[in-house]
Structure 1
Amino acid sequence: MEKQNILGLRTTAYKVGAIDIAKKWYTKAFETEPYFVEPFYVGFNIGGYELGLLPEENQPNEKPESVLTYWGVNDIEKVYNHFLESGAIEYEKPHSVGGPLMIATVKDPWGNIIGLIYNPIFKLKE
């Protein structure tokens, strides 16, 4: 059997204006301490996937919406509300996208879109 060349998602990185403040915010929002902290990068292990923070020197007024990353959750309403309570900005309320699948999005204090998804159908390949 031939091995796949593409192994799947490894890292999602968000650009932030103040990396020290962002580190605290993401620690609270994702309820996880970073495993790697340097002035040029902060890394979190979120369910076996990397969430990275990169410093952004000249923050734009508005960030483009070109790629969305959805973080899997078991209770989308609960997690969505937790992010709002942590200081995220409401962007797209939880809603169904067919069958049992539900998605929602919020914006972090730096304008990055954070997606949340409840998808009981998707299973990781081993």
Structure 2
Amino acid sequence: MLRGFATVSFYAADVKAAREWYSKLLGIEAYYAVPSAEEPAYVEFRFGDFQCELGIIDAKYAPHQVGNGPSGAIVSWHVDDLEGELEHLLELGATLNEGIVERGNNTGFRTASVVDPFGNLIGIMSNPHYLEILAGLKV
């Protein structure tokens, strides 16, 4: 049975540049790097309410072709301010993949997506269901 996302992996030809870009986006430093922080082939961040893992892997290890346009599944991360976060991503150098779209008849589900400078798709969304689950976990 699928239980939830554990790690999302993105690929980049320049892992150090990707680490710097994602550090700016997330507001934290990567906590893990191998084989070394100076010459990483893989870095990882933990962030958000459930400490989701985002791994950046050197593109030479990808099991598929990387670098010929946007690629990968669109994993949508919940954000509290969809417009503000979309603007933040674009200011950091991401390019718009799909602007803000209302999903469902005024249910509060709204999405947008961008392409990071390394060709990975990033989805963001306002997700009332996420907020309901989060509220239920707080005691």
TM-score, normalised via structure 1 length: 0.86
Q: 2:58 aligns with which of 48, 55, 60?
A: 55
The residue aligned with 1:12 is 8
What is the Cα deviation at residue 37 of structure 1?
A: 1.7
Report the 3-state secondary structure (helix = DSSP H, G, I; strand = E; otherwise coil) of the residue aligned with 1:121: helix
Pairing partner for 1:94 from 92, 100, 115: 100
Q: Percent identity?
A: 32
Higher helix share: 2
Structure 2 unaligned regions, length at least 5: 35-39
Residue range with higher mean Cα deviation, 19-28 or 32-41: 32-41
Shift of 1:40: 2.2
Aligned partner (choices 116, 126, 132) of residue 108 of structure 1: 116
CA distance in 1, matches of 2:17, 2:5: 26
Query: Mind listing any 5+ residue stretches in structure 1 that lack a counterpart?
Result: none
Q: Which residue number in structure 2 is paired with residue 32 of structure 1?
A: 28
Match of 2:82 in 1: 76
The normalised TM-score by structure 2 is 0.79
Aligned length: 121
Structure 1 runs (4+) deviating above 4 angstroms are none
Q: How far apart, in 1, do the equivalents of 2:83 and 2:16 lie?
A: 28
Residues 92 and 63 (structure 1 numbering): CA distance in 2 closer, same or farther, change over 3 Å?
Answer: closer
- DSSP-derived class of the 1:37 partner: strand
User: Matched residue of 2:77: which SS?
Assistant: strand
Aligned CA RMSD, in angstroms, stands at 1.8
Aligned equivalents of 1:49, 1:63: Cα separation in 2: 22
Equivalent position SS for 2:129? coil
Q: Letter of the aligned partner of 2:17 in structure 1?
A: I
Which one-letter code corresponds to 2:58 in the other structure? Answer: P
- 1:28 deviates by 0.7
Opposite residue 78 of structure 1, the aligned amino acid is: G
Q: Name the CA distance, whole Å, in 1 between partners of 2:70 and 2:114.
A: 13
